[in-house]
Every structure is written in structure tokens, then in C-alpha cells.
Chain A
Amino acid sequence: MREVAVIGVGMSEWGELWRKPMRDIFVEAALAAIDDAGVDKIDSMYVGCMTSGLFVGQEHLASMMSDYLGRSGIPATRVESACASGGLAFRLGMIEVGSGVSDVVLVGGVEKMNDVGGDGATYALATAADQEYEVYHGVTFPGLYAMVANEHMARFGTTRQQLAHVAVKNHKHGSMNPRAQYPYEVTVDGVLKSVLVADPLRILDCSPITDGAAAAVICPLEMAKKISKKPLVKVTGSGHSTDSIALHDRHDLSEFAAAKRAAETAYKMAGVGPADIDFAEVHDCFTIAEICVIEALGFVKRGEGGKAAESGLTALGGKIPVNTSGGLKSKGHPVGATGVAQIVELTEQLRGESGKRQVKGARRGLAQNMGGTGGSSVVHILEVA
């Protein structure tokens, strides 16, 4: 396989974008990535999106987006794997470039979630769980992660305060990210006093509802060396794995095995291990998710994820900064866009463009994107070329 480089990245505005249609949100991000890459020609594109059908009543998305991007006619593919749609779109784009089928590929992700209101969003997001054997019984997404949290707390002694520390850390990082939807700091006390959603999770343990898009332009590394004017960033590892989408079908309820397997594949491909990673963007859709994911990625031992944010291990300046962008928690979580936005953060960090939240000497970053309660997971490793 050819080595693949990321030569351009971009994001739309993120937040409650009442005035902007979904197509414009996507095109805004795609144009930013294309301009950043400085390329004219796009051979093919991928669009990660979880459920535009339920959020805005629009499917057939890839053709529509390529048209509104002014590229009608090119092959365009929509990719769905719930909240991992963006990360999986990036992986498929990378495989297309790596295989030699295409040279310059645009990978974008988009979701417009606010139009349907709170109950509509709850319904749409719950389709990532088993409709007939989980959702039927009244469980919500926060409810499923709350059950993961209760199991982790009972088994490993993880504390309610430790969950809060994940939110505090990620909001602190997000306060340094001008693109974050909620760039405000929160306190442990503030998290503990916020409204209960599903015990023990409170509203400040949950990522927000976001409209937004992100995009990246990729090409063969050898081509990037000739055409790119930016510091070169290459993809060295990629992994993807699945699991049952029903949480109850897993005998270990707080181990995200798909994330673990995807990471093992990515580490093997890159020829590195968890200790070689300088910083990471992980799927903190809920505070407990970051705790379980950093265990699955091997950054900490099983059961010790709760201590990481509390001790500063995963904060900027710590041994392994996690979610320097603010994560899903503070930056926002337009579900189909999230996985691509993680690639944007990795690329900018590796280029040294992250301003106040720059990880000093960042050479190798990892992105982990997850669908549902871990029924799918995609991991990428990017390095300075």
C-alpha cells in the first residue's frame, strides 16, 4: 500500500447553526480543507454522516454534497457507522488512496442535529443502539453509558469526582480552542451540581447536540512532498473493529473491546505501542467513555482510567494529553463529523498550529472514534512525516 499524507484540513462553524442548511455547513468545511491543501483536483470523496434522514429528512447525501461543492460527477460515497461514521469515512478514503485507485480524496463528515429538537435528537441517536432489545425498554444513550459507569465504579472503585475531572479537563482544553461550541471552563463542583440525566451521569458529563462539519484532503505521501506547502503529516496506522451493538451482549460491560482491537491493529501497522503516542483525541461522548477508552487504548491499565484526568496524566502538559481540542464534550459532537474533526486536531497539532493548546514536540498522535456504546471503533495514528 502507498503511504498516505493529510495535506489539508478544515472545519465549519460548530454550534446551533439555525441559519445554515446542512449542505452549506458541509461545503464550508470542505472548502476550508481544499484551500488549506491548495489543490484544485479532487478524484473522489467520502461523507461520514450518521443519520441525516432522521435529523433533516435527507438521504442520498454524497451526491448532493459533491454537487454543492461544485464537483458533481466525481465518485462520492456516504459512510455510516453511527458516531464513528467520520472516522470510518477517513479510513475508507485512506484505503482508496493507499490502494492506488485515487490520488486526491476529500473526506468529510457532517451532522445537523438541532432542527429536530431534544426528543427528536434522543430518538435519532438511540438508533445507534438495538431498537428492539434496548431502546424498546426505555433506555437512552446517556442511560447506556450510565450503566457502563455504574459497572466501572462498582468494579474498580472509580469515583463520581473522577468522572467530573474528565469534563473539567476537556472544557479547560476547549477554552483554548476558538472553534469549540462550549469554550467555557467548568468546575468539579459545577459538574456535580448539574442536572441528573441518567444516574450517575449529569448533563455536564454529556457531550452536546451540535451542527457542524469537518473535512480533510489526503493524497499519496510522495505526491504530498511535491505539492504541499505545509509541514507534512502522514497516516501510519489505521484500525477498525466491530462488536455487538447491544451493550448487554458483552460479558464485560465496561471494556470497549472494539476500541481495543482497532488500536491493536493500528499500533501494529504503525509499528508502535501506546507508550509511543504523544497525544490523543478520543471519543468522550460521555465522561465515562474517555475513562474506558484510554484503558482500551493501553494508555493506562484496566481500571485505572478514572485516576488519569484527576492526576493530570491526560491534561495538557501531562504524560499523554487527551482531547486537546476540548473533545466531544467541549468542542461539540456533530456525530458524523466528529471522527474527521479528530483528524483535523491531530494534523494541526503535528504541524504546530494549535496555538495555546499546542502539545510541545508533538510527533505522533492517535485518534479514536466510536459508534454507539462501542459497537464500532476506528483508530488512526498520524505522524510528522
Chain B
Amino acid sequence: MFPARYWREMPQRYRLEAGKCKRCGKVCFPPRLVCPKCGNRTFDTVRLADEGVLKTYTVIRVAPSQFTGQSPYAVGIVELDGGVLITTQVVDILLDEIKLGQRVRVEFRRVQEDGSAGIICYGYKCVPAA
């Protein structure tokens, strides 16, 4: 992970900032310059919903090097309330207790370690909703 890129993405990763189209209301995450639904170019900055539903998931057993310390771990696609879909790890739950359709909540966590000299990267992960 290049530090400049990591720094640039902090508004999305740390504050979950999304763009809400001023014309049609579609929420885009990450923010975009052009609305994919209506073509409009002006947005309001909004914060993503912090709960949603697990649409699908898998358990990664052969992990990239930055993630081998976490393996096996679950990654899923979550539809947040309001319709935005994100790819995220699902944690704080036993792997065989994860169910499609379950409610999850977004939390701020450490995501990956970029080798011994690299930066530690943070971001969002999902946990079971209380």
C-alpha cells in the first residue's frame, strides 16, 4: 500500500464518507464525480449507514501475504441500509455461525499490515448487529 494512496482514501475509510446525488438521491460509495444513475455531477457529502444485511460471503483460506496472520477469515458483500453495497470482512463471529441475510454493523478496525516496515492500514469491518 502506497502511503499517499492510503492517506487520500482516509475520508472514505475512516469517516465512511459517501456522495449523495443532488438530483436523484443515489448514494455513491466511494464518492464519484458523475452519478451512475442520472449523470448529474453535484453531490452532498453524507455518512454511510452503519448497519446492513449480509448478501453473500466466503471464508478466505488461501490469503494474500498481508492477511496470512488473519487466515482463515470471512469476507462478504453487505448491503447497507439505504442501498450502498460494500465488500468487507465479517468479524467477531465464529465462521460457521455466519448466515446469509443476517444483520451486521460497521465498525472501525485494523484491516491489514503491510509487511514489517510498511504502514498498518485501518478501515471498516462488519460485526453481527446486536
Seen from chain A, the residues whose Cβ lies within 8 Å of a Cβ on chain B are 119, 122-123, 126, 130, 132-140, 142-143, 146-148, 150-151, 154, 195-201, 246-249, 251, 253
Task: Check A253–B87 contact: CB distance below 8 A.
Answer: no
Chain A residues whose C-beta falls within 8 Å of the C-beta of B62 in the assembled complex: 122, 140, 142, 197-198
Select from chain A the residue with minimum beta-carbon distance to B64.
A122
**Which residues in chain B, 34-71, are within 8 Å of chain A measured between CB atoms?**
55-67, 70
Chain B residues whose C-beta falls within 8 Å of the C-beta of A123 in the assembled complex: 64
Task: Check B59–A139 contact: CB distance below 8 A.
Answer: no
Most chain B CB within a 10 A radius of its CB, from A119, A200, A201: A119
Task: Check B112–A143 contact: CB distance below 8 A.
Answer: no
Task: Check A139–B87 contact: CB distance below 8 A.
Answer: yes
**Cβ distance A59 to chain B, nearest Cβ, rounded Å:** 19
Task: Check B64–A247 contact: CB distance below 8 A.
Answer: no
If A133-B30, A198-B58, A253-B56 touch, whether A138 touches B77 (CB-CB below 8 Å) is no
If A198-B61, A198-B62 touch, whether A137 touches B56 (CB-CB below 8 Å) is no
Please, how many angstroms separate the alpha-carbon atoms of A247 and B58 in the complex?
13
Chain B residues whose C-beta falls within 8 Å of the C-beta of A138 in the assembled complex: 60, 63-64, 66-67, 70, 73, 75, 89, 111-112
Task: Check B77–A247 contact: CB distance below 8 A.
Answer: yes
Chain A residues whose C-beta falls within 8 Å of the C-beta of B57 in the assembled complex: 147, 150
Please, how many angstroms separate the alpha-carbon atoms of A240 and B27 in the complex?
29
Q: Which of A133, A198, A247 is in CB contact (< 8 Å) with B60?
A: A198
Please, how many angstroms separate the alpha-carbon atoms of A199 and B90 in the complex?
14
Q: Does B85 sit at the interface, judged by CB under 8 A?
A: yes
Q: Does B128 sit at the interface, judged by CB under 8 A?
A: no
Task: Check B87–A133 contact: CB distance below 8 A.
Answer: yes
Q: Does B86 sit at the interface, judged by CB under 8 A?
A: yes
- 9 closest A-B pairs by CB: A146-B58, A248-B85, A151-B56, A199-B59, A138-B67, A147-B56, A198-B58, A248-B77, A139-B75
Please, how many angstroms separate the alpha-carbon atoms of A305 and B100 in the complex?
21
If A136-B111, A137-B111, A138-B64 touch, whether A150 touches B87 (CB-CB below 8 Å) is no
Chain B residues whose C-beta falls within 8 Å of the C-beta of A147 in the assembled complex: 56-58, 75-77
Chain A residues whose C-beta falls within 8 Å of the C-beta of B9 in the assembled complex: 132
Please, how many angstroms separate the alpha-carbon atoms of A134 and B62 in the complex?
16
Task: Check A126–B87 contact: CB distance below 8 A.
Answer: no
Task: Check B87–A198 contact: CB distance below 8 A.
Answer: no
Most chain A CB within a 10 A radius of its CB, from B1, B70, B76, B111: B76
Most chain B CB within a 10 A radius of its CB, from A137, A146, A147, A246: A137
Please, how many angstroms separate the alpha-carbon atoms of A136 and B75 in the complex?
11
Q: Which of A122, A196, A248 is in CB contact (< 8 Å) with B87?
A: A248
If A132-B30, A147-B76, A253-B77 touch, whether A137 touches B88 (CB-CB below 8 Å) is yes
Please, how many angstroms separate the alpha-carbon atoms of A146 and B1 in the complex?
25
